[in-house]
Amino acid sequence: MSSDRPNGPSRRSTATRGRGAPAVSGQADLNPAQRAAVQYIDGPLLVLAGAGSGKTRVITRKIAYLIGTAGIAPRHIVAVTFTNKAAREMKARVAALSSRGGTTGLTITTFHSLGLEILRRERAAAGLKAGFSLLDEQDSDALLREILRHGDDDPATADARARISQWKNDLVPPAVALSHAADEREARQARLYGEYERALRAYNAVDFDDLILRPVELLRDHAELRERWQNRVHHLLVDEYQDTNGAQYELVRLLVGVRGALTVVGDDDQSIYAWRGARPENLARLREDLPRLRVIKLEQNYRSSTRILRAANALIANNPHLFEKKLWSELGPGEPIRVVQCRDEEHEAERIVAEILQRRYGRNEGFGDCAILYRGNHQARLFEKALRAHDIPYFLSGGQSFFARTEVKDVMAYLRLLANPDDDAAFLRLVNVPRREIGPHTVEKLGGYAGSRGIGLLAACEELGLSSVLSGRPLERLRELAHWVARHVRIADREGTVEAVRSVLRDVDYDDWLREQSSSPKTAERRAENVAELVEWIARLQGDDRDASLAEIVQRLTLQDVLERQGDETGGERVHLMTLHAAKGLEFPNVYLAGVEEELLPHRSSIEADTIEEERRLAYVGITRAQRTLTLTFAARRRRFGEQISCEPSRFLAELPAKDLQWEGRDTPGDRETQRQRGRESLAGLRAMLGDDG
DNA sequence: CGGTTTCGCTTTTTT
DNA sequence: AGCGAAACCG
C-alpha cells in the first residue's frame, strides 16, 4: 500500500508513510483512471491495479467519495481486506480524508472479522451457544490428532487438515466430500472431516474457515437474514480480490445481492496465496456473474524506477494472464539492478549487511529505507545474526506468532474454558497444566463417561454419575478443577475478564510453572513477559469496550485483531526483514532479495508441484517492492537440514532483461576482505555516533 | 505418574 | 540444526 500522497516520486521511507496528504475536496490529484474508479458508483466495478499504481489510494478516496459526495451513510459502507494491518491502515487513511466524526459507523475489517461479526449476531441461526470458542490452526490440528487417537489410527492423514480446509474453502460439506472422494485415502480424510465437524459442534466451537463458511451458509439458507444483511451493505469494497477463495467469493456475492454496488480491487499478477485456497480466477468470474461489471485498469506506477519496472514486466510476461496490462512509470531509469553471487548463505548475509551499513554511513540513508526479503522464514536467522553482530536495529515480521507460543496458548485455553464450558479442546490442554495429578488414564475415563452422556468434559467432572467410573483421588481432583473453573467464571462475570485472568494466573502460580518448565531462567522470564503482555492486551481490550464479554475478548485475541506484533509504529529506523509474502503491499527505497536460487525461489516444492507461475509472481512481488534500488543475491552453496548442498541461480534471473542487470561478486578473496573492512569501519562509525563503547 | 531420551520431521508461504 | 512428540525409563 503506498501512502496517500499526491502521485509522484517519493523519497519518504515506509517508516514515515501514512501521514497522508491533506484532504482534497476535488479529485485533481488523481490520474484519469483513478478518478474514474473513485467516481463510478452506478454498478459493480473491477479495478485492476498493478503494483504501485495507487490502489489503496483509490479505495480510501472512494470511501470518502461515497460518504461525502454520493451521500451514502457510513454505516452502509463496508470495506474488506485480508489482513488486520491493511484494515488498520485503511481506517487511518480514510479518517485523515474525512471531516471529524464523518465516518462513524463505517466498517473496515478483514474477511474473518466480518465473518465473526455475522456469526455473533446470527448466533442462534448458526446453532451456536453464547461464548463459542474460536480455534486457531494449531487448535484444530490438536483436535484432529485427538480424534485420530480415539478413532482409526492412520498416519496417512497427515495432510488431512489442509484437505479439510480446502473442502471448507470450496463450501464442500463432509457428506459431499465423502461421496466424491477419489480414493480410499481421500475417503478416510472425508470421514475424518465429518468427525471433526461433529467435534466442533459438540465443543461449541468454530475454526478459522468456519468464519467464512458458516456465514455463507446462513446468508444462503435464510432469506430474511440475507435481506437484513444486504440492507445493511449498500456498498461493498474488497481489497486484494485475487486472494479471495471460493467461500469468500460467495460471501461477497451474497452480501452484495442484486444491488451490485461493489468495488473490488486486485491484481492477478500478485496472486500468491493459491496454496491456501485463493482463486485469482475470481477476478474473471466476476465478469460472468455480473454482466454489468465495469473494468478499469490502473497501469501507471508511482513507486519504482523504470529499470525495476522493466525487469518486473519482463519477468511476469512469462506467465499467462487473465487480463493484459502493462505497467509504466515516469520516474526515470534509476540505478541498474544488481545481481550478487555469494559463496554461501553466511557470505550472503554479510554482504547484504555490509552494504546496508555502507548506505547508512556512506550515503546517509536510513536503516528504515532498507528491506531484506526472502522466500522462507528460516532464512531470516542468518540476517538477524549478521545484523545483530553489527548492532543494526531491525524489524522482523512474521515467524512464530505471539499466539503460537505455548505459554500464550495455555492462558488462552483457560480463558476459552471460562467462556465456553463445552470447549473440550481447551479442557484437555489445561487439565494438567500446571500439574494437577490428572493423568491420561483419568482423562480417558472422564472422556468415556462424557461421551456416553453426551456432555462436555467439564460438565462431566461435576456429575455424580462420574463416580461409577472413577473414584478416590482422581475423582477428587476433577471435582476440584470443576469448582475452581466455576469460581473463576463468577469472577469474570462480576469483576471482569482481566481480574479473572489475574486470579487464574495467581491461583495456579503460572510463573512458577514456567520456571519449572523452561530450560533456563532466561526463557522462563521471556515467557512470563509474554504472559504479562497478553494480560496487558486483555486489559486494554476491556478498557476500550467495557461491555466486551470474556468470549468476545478471547475471540478477538485469537483473530489477532489486536496485537500483530510491535507493528508499524515501531518501524523507526530499522532494517526490515520479511518473507516475500509478508512484503506484499509494502514498498522500500532499497530492496535486497536474498536466496534467488533454484529450489528456494522457485521453491523446491513448487517445482515438484509444477506451480512455478505462483513462484514467479512471488518474485514479481519482491521486485516491485523496490523504489530506487534492487539487489538480488544468491549463494553457490548453502546448508539445508544441516547438510551442505550446492545451489544454482534461479531460472527467474535469466528471465530478466540482461541490459538492466549488473552482475557482481564472482567472489574473490580481496572482495570479501574489502567488504569486511568496510563493515568494520562502518561499525566504528556507528559506535562513535551512539557514544557507545561496548 | 513424571521426567528424560530419542527419534523424526522440518523449511513455503498465513488470515 | 533445532524443535516437538512419542517412547522409554525410573
Q: What is the pLDDT of residues A347-363, one digit of tens each?
A: 899 999 999 998 888 88
Report the distance from CA of residue A630 to the C1' of nucleotide C10 in Å, as an integer.
60
Choosing from A122, A136, A240, A350, the catalytic residue is: A240
Give the Cα separation of A422 and A417 in Å (integer).
7
Q: Within 13 Å of residue A479, how many CA atoms lie on the same side as its CB?
A: 12
Q: Residue A611 CA to nucleotide B12 C1', Å? A: 12
Is the pLDDT at A415 greater than 50, yes or no? yes
Closest-approach nucleotide to residue A406, Cα vs C1': C4
Å from the A471 CA to the C10 C1': 27
Catalytic annotation on A270? yes
pLDDT value of position A4? 41
A240 in catalytic set: yes
Alpha-carbon gap, residue A90 to A56, rounded angstroms: 7
Output phi, psi for A49, to 5 deg.
Answer: -110, 110
Distance in Å from C3's C1' to A641's CA comes to 13
Using the predicted structure, report yes or no on whether residue A101 has a pLDDT greater than 70. Answer: no
Identify whether A502 is a catalytic site residue.
no
CA distance A209 to A193: 13
Q: Which cell goes with A139? A: 487448535
User: Rounded distance, CA A291 to CA A288, Å?
Assistant: 6
Residues with CB under 7 A from strand C: A 145, 406, 641-642
Element (H, E) at A328: strand A328-329
Q: How distant, in Å, are the alpha carbons of A164, A168, A173, A188 from that of A197?
A: 10, 11, 9, 14
Please state, in angstroms and rounded to a whole number, the distance separating the CA atoms of residues A377 and A463: 48
Per-residue pLDDT at A189: 83
* Coil, strand or helix at A591: strand
Confidence grade of residue A149 (pLDDT, cut at 50, 70, 90): low
Range A440-463 average pLDDT: 84
* Candidate list A107, A166, A270, A442, residue with the active-site label: A270
Q: What is the spatial distance between Cα A70 and Cα A364, in angstroms, rounded to a whole number? A: 47
Distance CA A355, CA A347 (A): 12
Contacts of A554 (CB under 8 A, 6+ apart): A133, A134, A412, A415, A416, A419
Quick count: other Cβ atoms within 10 Å of Cβ A647? Answer: 20
**Cα separation of A122 and A117, whole Å?**
8
| A126, pLDDT greater than 90 | yes
A346: pLDDT strictly greater than 80: yes
Q: Answer for the pair A524, A103: CB distance below 8 angstroms, yes or no.
A: no
- In the chain, the amino acid numbered A435 is R
User: Could you tell me the distance in Å between the CA of residue A212 and the C1' of nucleotide B5?
Assistant: 44
Is pLDDT at A229 greater than 80 in this prediction? yes
- In this prediction, residue A400 has a pLDDT band, given cuts at 50, 70 and 90, of low
pLDDT at A568: 47
Q: How, if at all, do strands A133-135 and A107-110 pair? A: unpaired
Is A110 known to be catalytic?
A: no
- Which helix (H) or strand (E) is A501 found in, with range? helix A497-508
Per residue in A492-510, is it b (16+ CB within 10 Å) or e — as a string? Answer: beeebbbebbbebbeebeb
- Higher local confidence (pLDDT), A630 or A21: A630
Q: Which residues pair with A77 in a beta bridge?
A: A235
Paired residues of A662 in beta bridges = A338
| A374 burial level (CB within 10 Å; 0-12, 13-18, 19+) | buried
Whether the pLDDT of residue A92 is over 80: the answer is yes
Which residue among the candidates A34, A56, A189, A560 is catalytic per the annotation? A56
Q: Which residue out of A91, A214, A429, A625 is catalytically annotated?
A: A625
pLDDT value, residue A666: 63
- Protein footprint on strand C: which nucleotides are under 7 Å from a CB? 1, 4, 6
Q: Report protein residues in contact with nucleic acid strand B, where contact means CB under 7 Å.
A: A 82-84, 110-112, 137, 158, 208, 272, 275-276, 375-378, 398, 401, 432, 435, 437-442, 474, 516, 560, 579, 581-582, 603-606, 609, 640-641
Q: What's the residue count for chain A? A: 694
Length A158 CA → B8 C1' (Å): 14
Residue A43: closest CA among A223, A245, A258: A258
**Cell numbers at A616, concatenated:** 514467479
- Residue A103 CA to B9 C1' — how many Å? 50
Cβ distance A623 to A299 under 8 Å? no
A638 pLDDT exceeds 50? yes
Closest residue (CA to C1') to nucleotide B9 in the complex: A641
Choose, from A5, A55, A168, A375, the residue flagged as catalytic. Answer: A55
A385 is catalytic: no
Q: Which pLDDT band holds residue A8 (cuts at 50, 70, 90)?
A: very low
Mean pLDDT of chain A: 84
Protein residue at shortest CA distance from C1' of C1: A642
- Least Cα distance to A323 among A348, A346, A293, A292 occurs for A293
Q: Which nucleotide is nearest to A401 (CA to C1')?
A: B14
**What pLDDT score does A430 carry?**
83
* Dihedral sign, Cα of residue A372, residue A373, residue A374, residue A376: positive
User: What is the distance in angstroms measured between the alpha-carbon CA of A502 and the sugar C1' of C1?
Assistant: 38
* List A136, A239, A345, A369, catalytic entry: A239
Residue of A626, A678, A656 lying closest to A318 (CA atoms): A656
Is the pLDDT at A9 greater than 80, yes or no? no
Tell me how crowded residue A512 is: count the other CB atoms within 10 A of its CB: 12
Among the listed ranges A135-139, A223-227, A346-350, which one has the minimum average pLDDT value? A135-139
Q: How far is CA A540 from CA A112, A446, A526, in A?
A: 22, 37, 21
- Give the residue carrying C-alpha cell 530450560: A519
The answer to whether A625 is a known catalytic residue is yes
Question: What Å value separates CA A600 and C1' B11?
Answer: 10
Q: Which nucleotides of B are covered by protein (CB under 7 A)?
A: 1-3, 10-15
Q: CA torsion sign, A145 to A150 to A156 to A157? A: negative
Give the DSSP letter of residue A524.
Answer: H
- The nucleotide lying nearest A609 (C-alpha to C1') is B12
- Side-chain-side CA neighbours of A208 within 13 Å: the count stands at 20
SS3 category, A229: helix
> Whose grid coordinates read 487464574?
A504
The pLDDT > 70 percentage for chain A reads: 87
